[in-house]
Amino acid sequence: MDVEYELQPIKLLCVDDDKFLTEVLTSQLQQERVGEILSSGNIGDAKILVPSFKPDILLLDVDLPDGSGIDFCVFLRQTGFEKPIIILTDKGSENDVINGLNAGANDYITKPIRLGELLARIRAQIRQFKSSDSAPFTIGLLEFTLANKMLSISGKPERINLTEKETFIIRMLVESFPTPVSKEVLLQEVWGFQSDLVTHTLETHIYRLRQKIKRLTATTYILTTENGYGLIGEGF
């Protein structure tokens, strides 16, 4: 099972007041080397943990001591949380499943939870989110989301608009990291140019991208290699 490769970098938050369940799940997921794991037994604590911990996926029980998990799911979506949410529900609670999905949850799993099924569902949701336009890409402290074509620095309000081509270039460099992308591949994928076509279009776009990044941070992120461009810096 290729769990370590896919799940090791993620942050998971489990919101459930069943302490025994959260302790068992945490232990089992740690044995499978699933990234960082935190748990919360109520909505109040979860509201603090979500913005501070920034989980990549949320396991959310329907019934919590200080409110409804479904209502909390609605709150999260309304306040901008876009990461996957998996509802935890008791067997036969069809209404909970329907209400949870309508509230913005991505999937559900019934109790008692089987580890293999849980891992499969987590893996599927992480894959789907990473392939979506709403998934944020992170380059050190530099962040951008394909859907809104904007660059920003984590924790700072300033935003820099990107063109469609600039967004496509950064996405290719991030997805290829740590391997650089050749000029020929970038020209073919971004512009549809043939490999033997001589042009300064790519160099111009790289220059403009670097200038935009410099408006946000002094850190150099785009590296010129012998045959193309790559990314340097921490946080990949």
Condensed to tens digits (0 to 9), the pLDDT of residues 49-83 reads 999 999 999 999 999 999 999 999 999 999 989 89
pLDDT of residue 3: 41
Tokens in use for 17?
Answer: 């007041």
pTM score: 0.61
Reported as a single tens digit per residue, the pLDDT across 102-161 is 999 999 999 999 999 999 899 888 877 776 666 667 777 788 777 778 888 877 788 888
Kindly indicate the confidence band of residue 4, based on its pLDDT and cuts at 50, 70 and 90: very low
Higher per-residue confidence, 4 vs 202 = 202
Q: What percent of the chain stands above pLDDT 90? A: 43
Among the ranges given (44-53, 70-79, 175-184), the one the predictor scored with the smallest mean pLDDT: 175-184
Higher per-residue confidence, 48 vs 8 = 48
- Burial code (b: 16+ CB inside 10 Å, e: under 16) for 168-189 equals bbbbbbeebbeebbbbbebbee
* Mean pLDDT rounded to a whole number for the chain: 85
How many C-beta atoms surround the C-beta of residue 234 within 10 A? Answer: 8
Rg of the chain, C-alpha, whole Å: 21
Kindly indicate the confidence band of residue 216, based on its pLDDT and cuts at 50, 70 and 90: confident
Set out the domains of the chain in order of their start, with CATH numbers. Answer: 3-130 (3.40.50.2300), 136-231 (1.10.10.10)
Report the distance separating Cα 74 and Cα 87, nearest Å: 12
pLDDT of residue 127: 79
